[in-house]
Amino acid sequence: MAFPDTVRRSYQTDIEAIRSAGLFKEERFIHSPQSASIEVEFPVGSPPRTCINICANNYLGLSSHPEVIAAAHSGLDARGYGMSSVRFICGTQDIHRELEKRLTGFLGTEDTLLFPSCMDANAGFFEACLNDQDVMIADRLVHASIVDGMRLCKAMQDTFKHSDMGHLEEKLQEHQDKRMRMVITDGVFSMDGDTAKLDAIVALAEKYNAMVFLDDSHATGFIGKTGRGTHEHCGVFGKIDVITTTLGKALGGASGGCVSGRRELVEMCRQRARPYLFSNSVAPVIVAGALKVLDLIGTSTERRDKLEWNARYWRARLKEAGFDVKEGDTPIVPVMLYDAKLAQDFARDLFDEGVYAVGFFFPVVPKGQARIRTQLSAAHEKHHLDTAFEAFKKVGEKHHILGLGRKELMALCVA
Amino acid sequence: MNEIGKAVRDYIIREYVPEGDDREITETTPLISSGLVDSFSMVSLLRFLEKKYAIHIPDADATPEAFDTITRIVELVQRFQKAEVGSI
């Protein structure tokens, strides 16, 4: 053991620097299951209070659905608590393979491999499938886990301006000398809530002989007419070479992710992706719950339809009240405030009004782009949204920001 | 602004400034610390400099600080141009 005072002080200085930069993150303790309405202890030691939750990835409201919970209980009884193994030693049960087959059918791909999380799927995929003769061309706003995965891979890295198809085409032309090209994008971008121009991306990929990689974590289960994802929404279902996605958001929200796509790419991950090879199997209880989620969303679009209505209603009310809301048609509705301090104050005031939302600022979003990211759920009833809206309006009036556009809001920050 | 500075500015505008964004890029405009160029997308700027000026900038020198303004980028390029000449 060697943790002398000098080492401790060094870390304390780093932590203090994070705090003084206003970037210190604190957890809030929730005393209830995940839902539209939750019991939150904040600050630490306070009695829990009921809040409307408008910042969860619980898009379909299935995190605490009774049928999912019952299926998880059955899975626990039938297949146990843990596997105590990675997949390829003695960690693969029949239900793991069953879930992979079901996801393959749902996503319209050739094969699927489960990972402990989508973070792990993204971290492991590129190194397993590409080498130094190849190039990865990513949208600049892809998720951090993709950035990490690309950094672990020896293929050349390049980026294109967010959703700028002209710029992507230039990059594809520039890299025609590479063995393989892979265009990398999120389906729905988590911070802005906009959707990738996946039809145009697929067309360019076909024109320039490139593969398409799609992280559809913020889309699987609810984007598209039957909730298959961004590829269904954009009319390119069955044309995506690799989809990574998560069980940790709309599909029950527990944990787990997958790589789903061309048979050979999935097999390369099974053979080489380090997070798959060196991390435990997804727990049987989660697999059993996820299978039930696929049953539920495979037989009815009711939940994604309700989510779509909620998102449209919420967005319209905020805009009518004069908030600066990012354009889009997904359940991610960012309320732009631009200033980091204002975003933090706004979130704190919302909490005082019984609404749980979080301010996002640099480095999670670009500097000067601070916001409150609101996320809708099929678990929200209209009365939840109306109550939350009144709180937003009250806090907006308090900070004198209603009716102000981008430039005025930014000027307000400087002042 | 010298020729290198102008070429770097043109590249930055083309490569990083979003469509419809009319911000002015001068020799001292912060690029990295302002968030216009991030460490993820900085790689293409590095590749542009190496290709255009036939130099090699080692990772240790391709720091966010060295890339933060056009002035510093020009200094970096000139330093490695001299190094290339010196190595012949």
Do the beta carbons of residue A112 and residue A104 sit within 8 Å?
yes
A336 in the same domain as A229: no
Instruction: For an interface test with A, give the residue of B44, B46, B52 to mutate (most A CBs within 10 A).
Output: B44
pLDDT of res. B81: 86
A140 in the same domain as A32: no
Identify residues of A whose CB sits under 8 angstroms from chain B CBs.
138, 140, 147, 157-159, 161-162, 164, 362, 366-368
Question: What are the tokens at A372?
Answer: 């409150």
A334 in the same domain as A231: no
A313 in the same domain as A293: no
DSSP state of A92: -
Q: Residue A405 is part of a domain; what is its CATH number?
A: 3.90.1150.10
* A254 has pLDDT over 80: yes
Answer whether residue A3 is part of any domain.
no
In this complex, which of B16, B18, B43 lies closest to A158 when CB atoms are compared?
Answer: B43
Among A299, A315, A337, which residue terminates a domain? A299
Band of pLDDT at residue B22, cut at 50, 70 and 90: confident
A190 in the same domain as A320: no
Among A247, A274, A299, which residue terminates a domain? A299
Range of the domain at A267: 66-299
pLDDT of res. B59: 86
Band of pLDDT at residue B19, cut at 50, 70 and 90: confident
A336 in the same domain as A311: yes
- Tell me how many degrees the CA angle B52-B44-A258 measures, rounded to the nearest 5: 155
Q: Residue B50 is part of a domain; what is its CATH number?
A: 1.10.1200.10
Q: Concatenate the DSSP letters of all residues of A345-410 into one string.
A: HHHHHHHHTTEE-EEE-TTSS-TT-EEEEEE--TT--HHHHHHHHHHHHHHHHHTT-TT--HHHHH
Q: What does the alpha-carbon distance between residue A132 and residue A374 come to, in Å, rounded to a whole number?
A: 40
Among A266, A281, A299, which residue terminates a domain? A299
pLDDT of res. A40: 97
- HSE-CB at A201 with a 13 A cutoff on CA atoms is 31
Band of pLDDT at residue A22, cut at 50, 70 and 90: confident
Instruction: Domain count for chain A, please give it.
Output: 2
Answer whether residue A14 is part of any domain.
no
Q: What residues in B contact A362, CB-CB < 8 Å?
A: 35
Mean of pLDDT over chain B: 88
Band of pLDDT at residue B33, cut at 50, 70 and 90: confident
Q: Residue A135 is part of a domain; what is its CATH number?
A: 3.40.640.10
Q: Whole-model pTM? A: 0.94
In angstroms, the separation between the Cα of residue B67 and the nearest Cα of chain A is 17
Q: What are the tens digits of pLDDT across the range A300-311?
A: 999 999 999 999
* A225 has pLDDT over 60: yes
A160 in the same domain as A249: yes
Q: What are the tens digits of pLDDT across the range A34-80?
A: 999 999 999 999 999 999 999 999 999 999 999 999 999 999 999 99
* B88 has pLDDT over 70: no
A261 in the same domain as A185: yes
Greatest distance between any 2 Cα atoms in chain B: 45
What residues contact residue B36 under an 8 Å CB cut-off, 6+ apart?
Answer: B12, B16, B17, B29, B30
Residue B74 is which amino acid?
V
Instruction: Domain count for chain B, please give it.
Output: 1
A278 in the same domain as A168: yes
* B21 has pLDDT over 90: no
Question: What are the tokens at A27?
Answer: 């957890």
Count, in order, helices (H) and strands (E) of chain B. Answer: 3, 0
Band of pLDDT at residue B85, cut at 50, 70 and 90: low
Answer whether residue A18 is part of any domain.
no
In this complex, which of A140, A362, A367 lies closest to B41 when CB atoms are compared?
Answer: A140
User: Are the Cβ atoms of B43 and A368 closer than 8 angstroms?
Assistant: no
- Alpha carbon distances (Å) from B6 to A309, B9, B10, B26, B50: 51, 5, 6, 10, 16
A232 in the same domain as A377: no
Q: What are the tens digits of pLDDT across the range A95-121?
A: 999 999 999 999 999 999 999 999 999
Range of the domain at B39: 3-87
Q: What are the tens digits of pLDDT across the range A399-408?
A: 999 999 888 8
Answer whether residue A345 is part of any domain.
yes
Q: What does the alpha-carbon distance between residue A283 and residue A348 come to, in Å, rounded to a whole number?
A: 36
Do the beta carbons of residue A100 and residue A258 sit within 8 Å?
yes
